[in-house]
Amino acid sequence: MKTLIEEESQTSNESVIEMQNTRRTGPPEIAEAPTVGAALIGLFRHPTRNLLSRWNWKSAVLSSSFRACIFFFSNLSAGWHAAVGALLAELALRAVTSGFYGAITEAFSEARPEWAAMTAAMVVLPVVNHSLEFLVHWLRGTPKLAVSITASVIFTAWSTSFNVYAMRHGILTVGGKSKSLREDLGSALPLFLQFMLAGPRLLIRLLGIGNTSS
């Protein structure tokens, strides 16, 4: 009986010590989100880790498909052969580069504050993106170059902002706990609707519409 009481007392003491240690150490710390500047510096300092290892194949598949269609239809008025040539050139270019652009977008999607990350992505990506695109199509003599690049820039403005928003919600990311492309596409429509409503909701909140202040 005495032994049993001693064992229970020892177990109780161990529980108390354990609880005290838990209070002292607290829950595991969550890594803070990087600033936009830190995310940008990280891309230059660690290109292997942040660009090569995070090469976004989902962006490569989707972007090359959409943009190839843009160049095809933009150049169709110049003839079938010109349209197909522009399509193939854009497809080859985007199949390689869009994965890196996706990695850059994903890096910015993790940064805070959100508005600064979105702005940085909207500035950095188009400059890098369309400078190379213009050079490639200018060198190969794409006939409707101005129309093609303009349409591509417009698409970039929309797709970049949506991709940042989607990646914040774990969609269109790669590695780690990322979902399959099929699952991402299944979640894309409701997320797109949320994305389209985010702007009006923010405007309403800023204007204070609907507030019942006395």
pLDDT, tens digit, for every residue of 113-133? 888 888 888 888 888 889 999
How far apart are the C-alpha atoms of 105 and 111, rounded to whole Å? 10
Token couple for 81: 């052969």
Helix spans in 26-79 (H): 36-45, 47, 57-74
Type of residue found at 175: G
Q: What is the mean pLDDT of residues 169-189?
A: 90
> Own/partner pairs for 4-13, CB < 8 Å, 24+ apart?
none
Token couple for 23: 């209070």
Q: Is the pTM value of this prediction over 0.85?
A: no
Mean pLDDT of the chain: 83
How far apart are the C-alpha atoms of 39 and 167, rounded to whole Å? 15
Binned at pLDDT 50, 70 and 90, residue 10 comes out as low
pLDDT, tens digit, for every residue of 137-159? 999 999 999 999 999 999 998 89
